[in-house]
Amino acid sequence: MKVFVIGIGLIGGSMVLDIKDLYPHATIYGIDTNEKHLDQAIELGVIDEMATFTDLIHADFVIVSVPVDVALTVVPQVLESIGDQTIVFEVGSTKLPICEAIANHAKRRNFIATHPIAGTEFSGPSAAIKGLFQGKTNIICEVEKTTFKLQERALALFQEMGMRIRYMDPKSHDKHIAYVSHLSHISAFMLGKTVIDKEKHEQDIFDMAGSGFESTVRLAKSSPAMWTPIFKQNRKQVVKTLNEYILNLSKFKELLENEDYEAIYNEMESVNKIKEILNGMNVKK
C-alpha cells in the first residue's frame, strides 16, 4: 500500500502514523513545501520517504492536510496526477469551498471531503501522535459524489482508525463547525489578548492563573497560518457566531451592571446542562 501525505502536520502526520500501525508494510511518502518539516518527519518516523507530485500516479491514498486556502490549489493538482484507483481526501476545517472548487473536476469521484474533528493546539510533524482519531468524529461531506468502491475503502480505513462517521452537506458542516470550533478559537485568542494586554501594565497576573484559565485559553496557542484561512473561508458564519457571542456577553454584563443577581444565577444554571452534553460527548468516545 502506498500512502501519500501532503502537508505533514498534526492531522496528516497522525493519520499516517495510524496507517503504518495498521499496515506495517505500507510505504508512507511525504510531500511538503517546508523542507525542515520533511527532514523532521523522516527523523521522527512519520514518513518513510520524500516524494513529488509525479509519484502520485501510484498512490492508493493521498491525504491532503494543508491550510484550507492552499488546499483549493493543491487538491485539483493532486487530482490531475493520480491514478484511477487512487483515493484523495482533504481534512480541513471548512468543507464548502473545497467541495465547490473541485465540483466539476474530471476526477471528482476519486475525492472524499472529510473533517476529522481531532485537533490539538499544536502543529508540525512533531505534533503527530498515534491514536489521535480513536473515538473521534469524522464528518464526511457529499459522500454520494465519490465512487462507491473507493468510498468503501476510505470508510474502512477511517473505521480502523477508530473514528465515528457522520454525513453532512458541506454548507451545514461549515455553519455548525463555526459554533463548536471556530468560535471557541476566537474566544480563546481574545481572552488571551485581554489578559496579555493587562499584564503589560500589571506584573504577576499570570502568577495567579490556575488550571481554569489554562483550559479556557488553550486554543490561543493554535497556528495563525492554519486559522487565518479558515476564518477567511468561513467568514460569514464566523461573524454570525461572533455577533451572537458578543451579544450574550453584553447582556451578561448588563445584568451585572444592573445588579440583577437572580438573572445571573439563572443564566449560569441554564448553561450548566453543558455538563450532560459534554458527558454525552465523552460517552460516545
What is the spatial distance between Cα 23 and Cα 220, in angstroms, rounded to a whole number? Answer: 35
What minimum distance in Å lies between the beta carbon of 266 and its own copies?
A: 8
C-alpha 110/C-alpha 281 separation (Å) is: 32
- Distance (Å, rounded) from C-alpha 152 to C-alpha 31? 25
CB 52 within 8 A of CB 33: no
Task: Convert residues 159-178 into a mask of x (bound to its own copies by CB under 8 A) and - (unbound).
Answer: -------x------x-xxx-
Binding residues among 121-150 for its own copies as defined by CB under 8 A: 121, 136-137, 139
- Nearer residue to its own copies within complex by CB, 53 or 245: 245
Least Å from the CB of residue 8 to its own copies:
21
Nearest in space to 112 (alpha carbons), one of 160, 84, 72, 144: 144
Helices 235-257, 183-201: crossing angle, 10 deg rounding = 50
| Strand boundaries in the chain, DSSP class E | 2-6, 27-31, 49-50, 61-64, 87-90, 111-116, 137-141, 164-168
Considering the complex, what minimum distance in angstroms separates the CB of residue 25 from its own copies? 32
Question: How big is the site for its own copies, counted in residues (CB under 8 A)?
Answer: 94
> Which has the closest alpha carbon to 268: 280, 252, 250, 246?
252
Q: Identify which of residues 106 and 208 has a Cβ nearer to its own copies in the complex.
A: 208
Site for its own copies in 192-221 (CB under 8 A): 192-198, 202, 204-221
Closest to its own copies by CB, 85 or 250: 250
Report, in Å, the least distance between residue 185 CB and its own copies: 7
Q: Which stretch binds its own copies (CB under 8 A): 21-29, 34-42, 101-109, 274-282?
A: 274-282
In this structure, are residues 51 and 81 in contact, taking their beta carbons and an 8 Å threshold? Answer: no
Strand, coil or helix: 60: coil
Q: Within 175-194, which residues bind its own copies (CB under 8 A)?
A: 175-177, 179-181, 183-194
Q: Does 275 bind its own copies (CB under 8 A)?
A: yes
Which lies closer to its own copies via its Cβ, residue 116 or residue 125?
116
The residues in 63-122 that bind its own copies, with binding defined as CB under 8 A, are 117-121
**At residue 59, what are phi and psi to the nearest 5 degrees?**
-75, 140
| CB of 56 or CB of 113, closer to its own copies | 113
Give residues 239-268 in contact with its own copies (rule: CB under 8 A). 239, 241-246, 248-250, 252-253, 256-257, 259, 261, 264-268
Residue 202's identity, in one-letter code, is: E
